[in-house]
Amino acid sequence: MPSAEPHKQRRGLVAIDGAMALIAIILIVQMWLLSATLETYLAGHTGAVVPAALFSGLLFSGCLALNLFVDRVDRGTWHS
Amino acid sequence: MTFFRNPSKEPLWKEEFSVLASDERYVTRRQFTKFLTLASLGMFVGNLWILLRSRFARARQFSSVKIAQVGEIPVRGVKLFTYPTPQDHCIMVRTGDDEYVAYSQKCTHLSCAVYYSAENDRLECPCHRGFFSIKDGSVLQGPPPRPLPQVTLVRDGSKLLATGVKGT
């Protein structure tokens, strides 16, 4: 299996680490959002349910985009 | 996107197991990123589930049950009963000559049984000093996060009937 040159690998790793950190932050926000929405729903308030679902979908889209970015960087670095 | 792998490409082991130690870091990071993205999808699905439940949940049907006779308890008197199931304990208070209110007896904090304090004219939870208004069951003080569910009372001649529960 061919290995990329070290500086390119290092750059790739930094990019992947940054994307992973962003994904982790997004996931924490989503966890908070889910627990807060569940709490308000169980309390009988349904006004926040729709915005929360939309925002959660938006965050998931961001996560997916970052995952695609990681995949692309990984392929570009590792398989070069 | 590698959630679904194209079978015509290289064997899986070549994708997932690297020969060089430096390349292995990429694989573990990529797998972890994939796992985090799937967790994010799970959170989104959870939010969608709450949305669907709130949109399509059917209103609960309650039966009409006789609770007491009018005048059975004195003003500021209390009667305990169960509604709508034998496991749901409730408390009815006569607040005036012709005024009755009834609530679930289960505190919304940690489910201790609330009681009526006649001297303070409120419902009190003895466990963590949570106080509820006798007028509408709203939280006056303490850790309870939401009001007490209110039992709907209807007067039918000389009978008091429970016909539903609001705020469950």
Alpha carbon of B142: minimum distance to chain A alpha carbons (Å): 16
Residue A3: inside a domain = no
pLDDT, tens digit (0-9, with 9 covering 90-100), for B60-76: 788 899 999 998 999 99
Whether the pLDDT of residue A1 is over 50: the answer is: no
Residues in chain B with CB shorter than 8 Å from the CB of A63 are 36-37, 40-41
Nearest by CB to B39, from A27, A41, A56: name it: A27
ipTM for the complex shown:
0.86
Range of the structural domain that residue A73 is part of: 9-78
**Which residues, listed in sequence order, are joined to residue B23 by a DSSP beta bridge?**
none
Per-residue model confidence (pLDDT) at position B22? 61
Domain total of chain A: 1
Does residue A66 form part of some domain? yes
Q: So where are chain B's domains?
A: 12-58, 65-166
* Residue B132 CA: distances (Å) to CA of A40, B32, B72, B118: 19, 48, 24, 13
Predicted local confidence at residue B118, as pLDDT: 92
- What is the distance between the alpha carbons of residues B38 and B9, in angstroms, rounded to a whole number? 23
- Predicted confidence at residue B61, as pLDDT, reads 84
Query: Do the domain assignments include residue A34?
Result: yes
Largest CA distance in chain B: 87
Which residue, B107, B79, B106, is CA-closest to B91?
B79
Structural domain contains residue A30:
yes
- How confident is the model over B96-143, as pLDDT tens digits? 988 999 999 999 999 999 999 999 999 999 999 999 999 999 999 999
Q: Which residue of A has its CA nearest to B54?
A: A46
Which class would CATH give B65-166?
mainly beta
Question: What pLDDT shows up at residue A3?
Answer: 52
Chain A residues lying within 8 Å of B43, measured CB to CB: 27, 30-31, 33-34, 56, 59-60
Summarize pLDDT for A18-33 with one digit per residue, the tens: 999 999 999 999 999 9
Q: What is the pTM of this model?
A: 0.63
pLDDT digits (tens, 9 = 90+) for B21-58: 666 666 677 788 889 999 999 999 999 999 999 988 77
